[in-house]
Structure 1
Amino acid sequence: MRLTSLLLSGTAVAALTLGGAALAQPAAGTTAAKPAAAKPAAAKTATATAKPAAKKAAKAPAGPAPLAEANEEQLLAAKQAHLGQYECEFRQTVNISPNLKHAGYIDVSYLKNVFTMKPVLSSTGALRLEDVTGRTLMVQIANKSMLLDVRAGQRMVDECVHPEQRAAIEAARSASAPSGGLGIAPSGL
């Protein structure tokens, strides 16, 4: 009798813990492992689902690092950058605009990418636009510009010409072209 009451109270406890699922099970003498197995399987599924979410949260980037405030030299370099659209080789384009959130920084758009760049004047007179993430570099010289992938060590696009660079090229051509005739002076006349 005592064993029967223990079994009945065990069934009542199981019914309370499993939300009544144990009451639908067969009597104590038969197998009643299914409800008990269902609960750990559900826990395993919840744990398995939580683990990838935790991994994704751990792998998610914390966002871009805050940019340092531009100094006077950087602000001067930013003013020397040719803003607007560049026509490049293979009918590609690059667009350069000031960064709206950070004074002294430049946004370079190429294909579907936008790179935030820090302008730096070099000792050779070239303007370097250095990607704040270290991935790309745009070099602007008098007659052309090029966008480089620093990590891969190769050019992304070359022969990029801004209208101001095109005007400089034309001015150099006309300055070097001889005026009048073929530029050959006859000797002995």
Structure 2
Amino acid sequence: MKRLALIAAAALALPGLACAQSAGTTAKVAAPQTKANRIAVQPARSAAPAPALAPVDLPPAGGEQMAAASMAYYGEYQCEFNQTLNVAMNPRHDGYLDVSFRNRTYTMKPVLSHTGAVRLEDVRGQMLIVQIATKSMMIDTKLGQRVVDGCMHEAQRVAAAKPRSGGGIGIEQAPDAPATTAAR
């Protein structure tokens, strides 16, 4: 029984000894930790900045991309749970947008869908923003879930306040898109 107690005591002392050695101090037998000295023993955590992402080589924007960029809503969006995102033109690449959300900025390529919605696709393939007439949402495509929903630009807020004609959902078809039929 004494042997088992000694083994257990040694096993409990080893992690403290390993921490002391890894911190560059000489190995000493650690005093039993109490609530008072446990706080002083814990190392301070430093907030390391997120690693800088390597620049992406972006191809020049074509006519369709420039048209989609002109249809995107620029400025601040008010989202659910008091969150905000901001859409601005990319200063270095014509036809690309920068979307800022939660202290991160994503460079996005605007794409116009055949339904009239504008998709902002992250050039790194992580995020996607879908803009319709009355709201926008950001989706993490790698995780397959919404990051933020219910985002409204001032123009979307105005569109949402208007009564809808024809019972649609607020998406208008692009002028050059072929008409689709509902009958099958």
Pairwise same-fold verdict (TM > 0.5): yes
Comparing both structures, which one devotes a greater share of its residues to helix? Answer: 1
Partner of 2:134: 143
Aligned pairs (5 A) from 1:1-189: 63-172=54-163
Deviations 1:124-164 (A, max 9, x none): 11100000000000000011000000000000100000000
Q: How many Å apart are 1:64 and its aligned residue?
A: 2.2
Structure 1 runs not aligned, ≥5 long: 1-59, 177-189
Q: What is the root-mean-square deviation in Å for CA atoms of aligned residues?
A: 2.1
Could you state the TM-score of these two structures normalised by the residue count of structure 2?
0.60
- Secondary structure in 1 matching 2:162: helix
Aligned length: 117
The residue identity in structure 1 corresponding to 2:84 is T
How has the CA–CA distance of structure 1 residues 174 and 126 changed in structure 2, closer, same or farther, with 3 Å as cutoff? Answer: closer
Q: How many Å apart are 1:61 and its aligned residue?
A: 8.5
How has the CA–CA distance of structure 1 residues 65 and 88 changed in structure 2, closer, same or farther, with 3 Å as cutoff? Answer: same
Distance 1:158 1:104 in 2: 25
Distance 1:171 1:61 in 2: 43
Partner of 1:19: none
- Secondary structure in 2 matching 1:172: coil
The one of the two structures with greater contact order (alpha-carbon pairs below 8 A, sep at least 6) is 2
Distance 1:160 1:74 in 2: 23
Distance 1:78 1:62 in 2: 24
State the identity as a percent: 51
Larger radius of gyration: 1
Deviations 1:66-115 (A, max 9, x none): 10000011001000000000000000001000000000000000011100
Q: How many Å apart are 1:63 and its aligned residue?
A: 2.1
Distance 1:136 1:83 in 2: 17
The residue identity in structure 1 corresponding to 2:132 is I
- Secondary structure in 1 matching 2:146: strand
